[in-house]
């Protein structure tokens, strides 16, 4: 069910609702952009889709025509009720009300819990929601071994949501995410513009910007540009061999002071000599005056293997 701006305004008035800035509610009103998102998702008859931020169901119904099942997650209680009523007779659509950062993700036909709600990522939005008087809704979502994420995310939690799904034992096969253009560009960055975010995402996945969306594709009109990211999850993290913990420890230290050279950050963070750092640089193929943002992900892997065993 696709609605234009006038229809959304009318439904909101009838439901005594208004767009919530704290939830980043900007509703897609451009059908051409909707078709491009669906094409990027490339959903087939055997696919299960986890849709995050379903809103009024602009994408939900179209996904349901193509997929085996759609689990539509919506934080806003009134919108979740609207979705339940709208898709009450559609066996392919299951509506879940709640915060995706709090919901547990479980494998179908398995007892073990794959992700608990105690994710540090929730802290990013805790202050905004501290005033809620009701107990927050929690539930679990059951997914098959292979599933796809399609998400129209509040810009304030986009990176937290992406990182949450990287942390799961049952990662999606791919993610198609509508995100702030600036964040999308940071995620796909290459040297000399790398960041902790770019390294973190590219460690687990191959991200690409599929297209950009004009601001007038939404109501209310957002103050920033938007992009659609397609994130193909790697079967194995970039650095094989169990170096994940060491990898992220070294990356975090390396980016601790962006304006400083990498050697200085590592020297201060690891409390080792400059000679030891230069020896590791030589083996990893890093220039002595390099900065963290200039280092490609494969070189971070090599550096973490050289320095990861050092205890703080």
- What's the rounded mean pLDDT across residues 30-44? 97
* CATH assignment of the domain containing 279: 1.10.8.100
Is the confidence at residue 304, as pLDDT, over 50?
yes
- At residue 137, the pLDDT reads 53
Per residue in 93-137, pLDDT (tens digit) is 999 999 999 998 888 865 444 344 334 333 333 333 433 334 445
Question: How many other β-carbons are positioned within 10 Å of the β-carbon of residue 38?
Answer: 17
**Residue 84 forms part of a structural domain:** yes
Supply 283's token pair.
């083996």
Percent of the chain at pLDDT > 90 equals 76
Give the residues across from 179 on adjacent strands. Answer: 227
Same domain, 161 and 197: yes
Same domain, 57 and 144: yes
More confident residue, 215 or 109: 215
- CB-count burial class (<10 Å; 0-12, 13-18, 19+) for 53: buried
Same domain, 225 and 286: no
* Count: domains in the chain: 2
Per residue in 228-241, pLDDT (tens digit) is 999 999 988 888 66
- What's the rounded mean pLDDT across residues 187-197? 96
């Amino acid at each position: 069910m696709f609605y234009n701006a006038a229809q959304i305004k009318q439904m909101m008035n009838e439901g005594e609702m208004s767009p919530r800035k704290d939830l980043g509610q900007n509703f897609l009103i451009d059908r051409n952009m909707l078709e491009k998102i669906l094409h990027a998702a490339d959903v087939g008859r055997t696919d299960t889709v986890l849709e995050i931020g379903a809103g009024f169901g602009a994408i939900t119904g179209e996904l349901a025509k193509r997929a085996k099942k759609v689990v539509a997650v919506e934080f806003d209680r009134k919108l979740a009720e609207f979705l339940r009523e709208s898709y009450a007779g559609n066996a392919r659509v299951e509506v879940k009300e709640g915060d995706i950062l709090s919901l547990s993700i479980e494998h179908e036909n398995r007892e073990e819990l794959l992700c608990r709600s105690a994710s540090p990522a929730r802290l990013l939005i805790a202050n905004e929601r501290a005033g809620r008087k009701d107990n927050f809704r929690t539930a679990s979502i059951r997914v098959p071994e292979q599933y796809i994420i399609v998400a129209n995310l509040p810009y304030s939690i986009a990176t937290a949501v992406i990182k949450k799904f990287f942390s799961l034992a049952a990662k999606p096969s791919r993610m198609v995410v509508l995100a702030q253009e600036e964040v999308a560009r940071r995620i796909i960055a290459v040297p000399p513009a790398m960041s902790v975010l770019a390294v973190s995402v590219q460690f687990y996945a191959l991200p690409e910007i599929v297209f950009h969306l004009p601001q007038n594709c939404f109501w209310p009109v957002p103050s920033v540009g938007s992009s659609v990211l397609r994130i193909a999850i790697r079967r194995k993290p970039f650095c094989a061999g169990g170096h994940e913990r060491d990898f992220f420890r070294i990356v975090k230290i390396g980016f601790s002071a962006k304006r400083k050279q990498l050697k200085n950050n590592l020297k201060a963070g690891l409390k080792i000599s400059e000679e030891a750092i230069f020896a590791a640089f030589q083996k990893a193929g890093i220039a002595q005056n390099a900065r963290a943002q200039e280092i490609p992900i494969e070189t971070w892997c090599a550096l973490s293997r050289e320095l990861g065993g050092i205890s703080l």
